[in-house]
């Protein structure tokens, strides 16, 4: 399997990229100028290691994605989001254990669509989108209101 990774500029992940290069793993790092929207179209799964815009963009675009959280750095969420996080853990959208995430990917890689398009997964994705992803309408009327009121 080919694995491609995109490291955000100035993310502090250069040392990660260097350690992967030295490990001998077959991971290609995408050009930093590659736009997320273009890159994501070419891949079956996005793996996120931070609660970030990319994770939410994948949800908006209905692109299979998982989130691997480090309990030491990703633990401060409001009560409402913690409930969503529990559901994401239950539905294999989020993982706190990288070994479990790896096992899930290896066991489901050839049928990710079945998992991602499952009714429970899609309902959860839509609930998260509705609560945490602001998607302005095409005329941007609601965005313009921010500046006119």
What pLDDT, on the 0 to 100 scale, is given for residue 18? 61
Q: 7: closest CA among 54, 44, 43?
A: 54
**pLDDT in single tens digits along all 149 residues of the chain:** 456 666 655 555 556 556 555 555 566 666 667 777 777 777 788 888 888 888 898 999 899 999 988 877 666 788 888 899 999 999 999 999 888 998 998 899 889 999 999 999 999 999 999 888 866 555 566 666 667 65
What pLDDT, on the 0 to 100 scale, is given for residue 120? 97
What pLDDT, on the 0 to 100 scale, is given for residue 42? 75
- 3-class SS string, 76-102: CCCHHHHHHHHHHHHCCCEECCHHHHH
CA distance 29 to 41: 16
Unique residue bearing structure tokens 């260097």: 18
What pLDDT, on the 0 to 100 scale, is given for residue 38? 76
Unique residue bearing structure tokens 């994401």: 88
């Amino acid at each position: 399997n080919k694995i491609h990774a995109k490291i955000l500029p100035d993310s502090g992940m250069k040392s990660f990229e260097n350690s992967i290069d030295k490990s001998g793993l077959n991971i290609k790092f995408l050009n930093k100028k590659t736009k997320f929207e273009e890159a994501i179209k070419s891949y079956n799964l996005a793996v996120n290691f931070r609660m970030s815009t990319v994770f939410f963009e994948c949800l908006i675009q209905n692109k299979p994605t998982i989130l691997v959280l480090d309990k030491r750095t990703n633990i401060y969420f409001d009560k409402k989001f913690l409930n969503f996080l529990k559901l994401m853990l239950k539905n294999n959208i989020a993982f706190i254990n990288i070994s479990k995430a790896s096992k899930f990917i290896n066991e489901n890689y050839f049928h990710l669509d079945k998992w991602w398009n499952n009714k429970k997964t899609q309902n959860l994705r839509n609930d998260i989108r509705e609560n945490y992803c602001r998607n302005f309408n095409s005329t941007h009327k609601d965005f313009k209101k921010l500046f006119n009121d």
